[in-house]
Amino acid sequence: MSGDDLSRRLGIEPDAVWSQVGALQKQGYEIVLRPDLGYRLVGVPDRLLPAEIRYRLETSLVGCRVVVYEETSSTMDVAHRLARAGEPAGTCVLAESQRAGRGRIGRQWHSPKGEGICLSVILRPALPPHAAPQLTLLSAVATAAAIRTETGVPAQVKWPNDIVVHRKKVCGILTEMQADAGTLRYLIVGIGINVNTPSDRLPSGATSLLVERGEAISRIDLCRRLLLSLDERYATFSAHGFQTIAQEWEMFSSTLGGHVRVEVPGRLLEGQAVAIDGDGALLVRKDQGIVERVVAGDVIRVR
Ligand code: BTN
């Protein structure tokens, strides 16, 4: 498009077009100028820029506000701070890298710069605190669905909070909440996806979408798809409850039907994973036929 056309359409001086193009180029946009033809956009950087994420993003809640950090301690910390300050439900915090990314039970989450998606979403569901695990499973289903649609990689959900591909972890989900006097004030869902990390930089037992698909993935496209997927499922959940989410979770599950070993506080439980219940707990049938309800723990599929 010619500089004159751009200046008319944007309602700015021709000189300002030039300086705005320069600013975009600094952000990594590849724009070439041919004096006879005008400006041409050749490439968009694979950076999680708020304007790219929000561009024509048709969600009703998730992504209403998007905050992106080049680097932060953990997007969970930022999201907690914003939620305490009254930031609305649906606000998303992303980071290109985290100095102290965290996982469940005090584990670290490795977040190499520009290779993955590190996202925390503020939610304010009208739920009792004990129902919060439903949101972990909802987020897992939404993430697996987004990965499948956007990349074609056959992602599965592994109870309670992992996404796996061929039994290797590609994504972890961490849910933290603030509750007092039995009331849930807000909840933060943290999602970490290994997107473009090459195999030699992955911890053992982990994989990335790059490794599984054999080519780099646009993090912007995946991130937009993820926000849409979360938004749709959160709307369904708010209107109709957990039932449809649970059904979808069962469809994507790598856990159900298998013989599992679960580390529950103080002991090891073994049996067949048969279902999840209305609160998102895993039901394990032991060899004697007794069904135990597991609300938290690490699951290993034995066969
Ligand atoms: C796990 O596997 O135990 C959960 C990992 C969750 C990682 C994500 S990355 C975005 C958000 N910020 C964090 O510090 N953790 C979560």
Per-residue pLDDT tens, the chain, 303 aa: give them.
999 999 999 999 989 999 999 999 999 999 999 989 999 999 999 999 999 999 999 999 999 999 999 999 999 999 999 999 999 999 999 999 999 999 998 999 999 999 999 999 999 999 999 899 999 999 999 999 999 999 999 999 999 999 999 999 999 999 999 998 889 999 999 999 999 999 999 999 999 999 999 999 999 999 999 999 999 999 999 999 999 999 999 999 999 999 999 988 888 999 999 999 988 999 999 988 999 999 988 899 898
CA dist., res. 225 & res. 134, Å (int): 21
Whose CA is closest to atom 10 on ligand 1? Answer: 118
Regarding the beta carbon of 171 and ligand 1, being less than 6 Å apart is answered no
- Cβ(17)–Cβ(10) under 8 Å? yes
Regarding the beta carbon of 133 and ligand 1, being less than 6 Å apart is answered no
Residue 93 CA to ligand 1 center (angstroms) comes to: 12
Whose CA is closest to atom 15 on ligand 1? Answer: 102
Mutate to test the pocket of ligand 1, among 69, 76, 94, 202 (most ligand atoms within 8 A of CB): 76
pTM (two decimals) = 0.94
**CA triplet 167, 253, 179: central angle to 5 degrees?**
105
Regarding the beta carbon of 143 and ligand 1, being less than 6 Å apart is answered no
- Cβ(233)–Cβ(151) under 8 Å? no
Cis amide leading into 160 (omega within 30): yes
Residue 75 CA to ligand 1 center (angstroms) comes to: 8
Check residue 113 and give its pLDDT. Answer: 96
| Residue given tokens 């129902």 in the structure block | 131
